[in-house]
Structure 1
């Protein structure tokens, strides 16, 4: 071998450690940790890189009042790989049901101040799934306290801010407080768009629901016209959109208003009709709408009054 030339020893490739995070099914992640990680962080893969910055400690008891306390990325169950199958004691179940629900209400309020509606719903359910009894208690609070927003415009349907390609039965039917925002489109001949079919379909899925609150917010280009024809069209198509909700049968509190985007104008439909035109026909249509609205609200409340409020709204 010529002098000055030496064979360098092949560098031994360093095997990166396994990702220390858990998957959504609470199984160990099979990926390898990334080579770069934040200071004081845990070895995690690229998919779980944010979890590596939130450190928790395994709470598995080892006997003699000792705990495992191994550093792990934060999860709801707070157990390492070794103790993943261990069932931790659930101290909250020792509290009375009323106190547990107050705690869940406080957590839900904190989530609503930090997340959008859909992520509040998703994150709260994720925590509730830790225990069957907790799930029943927490979801009871969730579906009573969280308002489900449903937006309809043309063929588009959004529930909790998420677009739905088709209206099917689901957990949205369990909500006890619903807010509908209807962007109504009607041509000059009075023909309705596809939104009316979606309203009828949603109302059929909610048939027999035990609602606490129902709020319907209406928006249409016709609300911006200041002539009697627009008042006439609004008066004619409103019953078509409100009548499907009669089959709900059990509503404790309900209201119908105009879109808040109409700044400077009253959100009450009756006053809007009177402001748009001062002639006698417009005033007559406003009175006709008032009679219809009173009859519509009484129809929805009648079943609760007959059965008694206590029985109608017990959970």
Structure 2
């Protein structure tokens, strides 16, 4: 065989091997390193930094003319596009699925955000994915707001929304939540707390809230006396009446921390079974009657107290 034919064969063999790494960087640019690992069976030539991608091969999904795909073998990436088609826009097949199925998919993806509210920076990957389509963004954020609980803590001097101290209650994204948990303390001077409750309730008016959980604490509950319990149950309706401005709520409930009624029943009945028993029963029945009517009014959307 002549030397010219041998040189031509060597040249063809060298052309088959690409000296540039076939992988993409984190910014989806072509890697400029030289390929240190040659092509193997089912693999691609990559540099030493991308050696783990040598056998993880996928195909470019860029749609060319006549609905034909590129299908060039490339290392796996989230976009699944080769270097030549890295700026192409891939079709979103998820929109072809029924709405109910898409909601289940979003619930699965957003499962880590359902237990509690997390700082904004942890949503970066979620936001980058949702920005691919306005429709997907609206559906996913709606799912997120429906499953997260917005915690609002109200006191005389401070208001905390989602764990952040607010100098004043201003409109914001917190109004988009569909589940709320109010926490406040029942005290003698209730003017400041009532004003904060009225401001929050006014901004949440007609928000189609699914669930409203109210958790009440009071220094009255630490004193196991009939007078202190009566004082708490007497002041609590003023707070709950202010929350009526929210309007219709799918499910409403009130939880009293350290409810004194069970303890008072045991101590009161044993000490003065005749005198204390009537007062305790009357107090409990009056509160139970008001609470049931308040829950019914909230679920029906009655803004004013029923006479």
Q: Report the Cα distance in structure 2 between the residues aligned to 1:59 and 1:152, rounded to whole angstroms.
A: 54
| Match of residue 255 from structure 2 | 257
| Match of residue 229 from structure 2 | 231
> Does the 8 Å CA contact 2:149/2:181 hold for their aligned counterparts?
yes
> Does the 8 Å CA contact 2:117/2:162 hold for their aligned counterparts?
yes
TM-superposed deviation, 1:155: 2.3
TM-superposed deviation, 1:233: 2.0
User: C-alpha deviations, 1:123-170, integer Å up to 9, x for none?
Assistant: 255543331010121122112222222222332222222332321112
| Match of residue 65 from structure 1 | 70
> Does the 8 Å CA contact 1:270/1:287 hold for their aligned counterparts?
no
Shift in alpha-carbon separation, 1:241–1:110, aligned structure 2, 3 A? same
| Match of residue 148 from structure 1 | 150
Alignment of 1:35-54 (within 5 A): 40=49
TM-superposed deviation, 1:217: 0.8
TM-score (norm 2): 0.65
> Does the 8 Å CA contact 2:150/2:180 hold for their aligned counterparts?
yes
Alignment of 1:202-221 (within 5 A): 202-221=200-219
| Match of residue 179 from structure 1 | 181
- Which consecutive residues of structure 2, in runs of 5 or more, have no partner in the other structure? 1-24, 30-47, 51-57, 270-275, 303-307
User: What's the secondary structure of 2:207's corresponding residue?
Assistant: coil
- Which consecutive residues of structure 1, in runs of 5 or more, have no partner in the other structure? 1-19, 23-27, 29-38, 42-56, 305-315
Alignment of 1:81-160 (within 5 A): 86-112=88-114, 116-119=116-119, 123=123, 124-125=126-127, 127-160=129-162
| Match of residue 33 from structure 2 | none
Q: Report the Cα distance in structure 2 between the residues aligned to 1:174 and 1:283, rounded to whole angstroms.
A: 41
Q: Report the Cα distance in structure 1 between the residues aligned to 2:59 and 2:97, rounded to whole angstroms.
A: 24
Shift in alpha-carbon separation, 1:112–1:141, aligned structure 2, 3 A? closer
User: What's the secondary structure of 2:300's corresponding residue?
Assistant: helix
C-alpha RMSD of matched pairs (Å): 3.8
TM-superposed deviation, 1:286: 1.9
Alignment of 1:13-52 (within 5 A): 40=49
The answer to which structure has the higher helix fraction is 2
User: What's the secondary structure of 1:194's corresponding residue?
Assistant: helix
| Match of residue 300 from structure 1 | 298
TM-score (norm 1): 0.63
Shift in alpha-carbon separation, 1:143–1:111, aligned structure 2, 3 A? closer
| Match of residue 12 from structure 1 | none
User: C-alpha deviations, 1:19-42, integer Å up to 9, x for none?
Assistant: x767xxxxx9xxxxxxxxxx959x
Q: Between Structure 1 and Structure 2, whose CA radius of gyration is higher? A: 2
Paired positions, count: 243
